[in-house]
Amino acid sequence: MKAQILDGKLVASQIRNQIKDIIEKQFKPENLQPGLVAVIVGDNPASRIYVNSKAKACEEVGITSKIIALEESISQTELLNLIQQLNDNPVYNGILIQQPLPAHINAEKINESINPDKDVDGFHPVNLGKLLIGDDGFKPCTPYGIIKLLQHYKIELSGKDVVVIGRSNIVGKPLAAMLIQKNKETNSTVTICHSYTRDISKYTREADIVIAALGKAEFLNADMIKEGSVVVDVGINRIEDLNSNKGYRIIGDVKFDEVSEKAAFITPVPGGVGPMTIAMLLYNTLIASSKFYGIDINVQNFN
């Protein structure tokens, strides 16, 4: 059996087209435009690529965007002052602080300083708290994108056994919180595995859905899953490849070739979760803007 590909690039494109259509029909006639500002600290090449791709995506759907690049030596106080200015700036409805931050800056304090109504990354304690109790707030983009992708392919989550490998604050923990919610979309039974879990295979072999988000190249192999399961690969790992023009290639946390022979559904890397993350960032920015401007959007229309 060859697994069906969960094409995040395709689904993300559809969501982006819906966002663009809403902006064209509901914002532009009122001379309004959603806005997102991204702040990057230091000169991390990967972070710059991510931020630039987000800015490009904004431009394509009609969201005004700005990138603020800061020296790595900036103090935490200076960064906090900048965020306060952005909180007060009505042009930008969404604020994104690109992670990781330099060691001398406390990421938690930075996240807490963002106005929760502009926290389109979904990392503010207020939004994480709302997520935990099932209240309405901004959801972290990668977990949100994963669930939207599964829903698009009509993969049932209710009552299913889901194993999440990884317990990061960005993916693992919020994803588990979303999956266990008592609603028509999720209702899953969730197990989180991590670096201290004894025999991860014991859990993954019983799972209906396995989500690998541990940041270890090709960790999950075919022997670790059951026949016909769903495998979601969140990993982005750069490995040397002398045959590539770049000198490297990107692979996930899953041994794609062998796992795809056993799973029923699988996400590729690249082209799976990554595009969905950006799509949900745009979606969150659209929602933040609609609330700020008082524009009613029918979110049920989104995939």
State the catalytic residue, choosing from 117, 119, 121, 208. 121
- Average pLDDT, integer, range 13-23: 97
pLDDT digit string (tens) for 83-92? 999 999 999 9
Q: Is residue 299 predicted with pLDDT exceeding 90? A: no
Evaluate whether 39 touches 95 at the Cβ level (below 8 Å).
Answer: yes
Burial grade of 132 (CB within 10 A; 0-12, 13-18, 19 or more): middle
Percent of all residues in the chain with a pLDDT value above 70, rounded to a whole number: 98
Which of the following is catalytic: 18, 54, 255, 262? Answer: 54
pLDDT at 131 over 80: yes
Indicate if the pLDDT at residue 105 is higher than 90: yes
- The dihedral through the CA atoms of 157, 172, 14, 33 has a sign that is positive
Q: What is the pLDDT of residues 265-281, one digit of tens each?
A: 999 999 999 999 999 99
How open is the CA angle 278-283-284, to the nearest 5 degrees?
100
Cβ pair 225, 259 in contact under 8 A: yes
User: Is residue 268 a contact partner of residue 276, using CB atoms and an 8 Å limit?
Assistant: no
- pTM score, whole prediction: 0.95
Residue 272 contacts by C-beta under 8 Å, 6 or more apart in sequence? 6, 7, 8, 9, 149, 232, 233, 252
Write out the residue limits of the CATH 3.40.50.720 domain(s) in the chain: 141-274
What mean pLDDT comes out for the span 124-148? 97
Confirm whether 216 is a catalytic residue. Answer: no
- pLDDT higher than 80, residue 242: yes
Mean pLDDT of 158-182: 98
The mean pLDDT of 61-70, rounded to a whole number, is 98
268's tokens: 């590729």
* Structural contact between residues 103 and 76, judged by C-beta atoms closer than 8 angstroms: no
Residue of higher predicted confidence among 242 and 299 = 242
> Average pLDDT of 214-221?
97
> Above 90 in pLDDT, residue 132?
yes
The torsion defined by the Cα of 158, 163, 165 and 167, in degrees rounded to 10, comes to 60
CATH of domain 28-118: 3.40.50.10860
Has residue 302 got a pLDDT over 80? no
| 139 assigned to active site | no
Domain 141-274: top CATH class: alpha beta
Say whether pLDDT at 300 is over 80: no
14 counts as catalytic: no
Mean pLDDT of 24-29: 97
Q: Out of 98, 139, 148, 160, which one is annotated catalytic?
A: 98
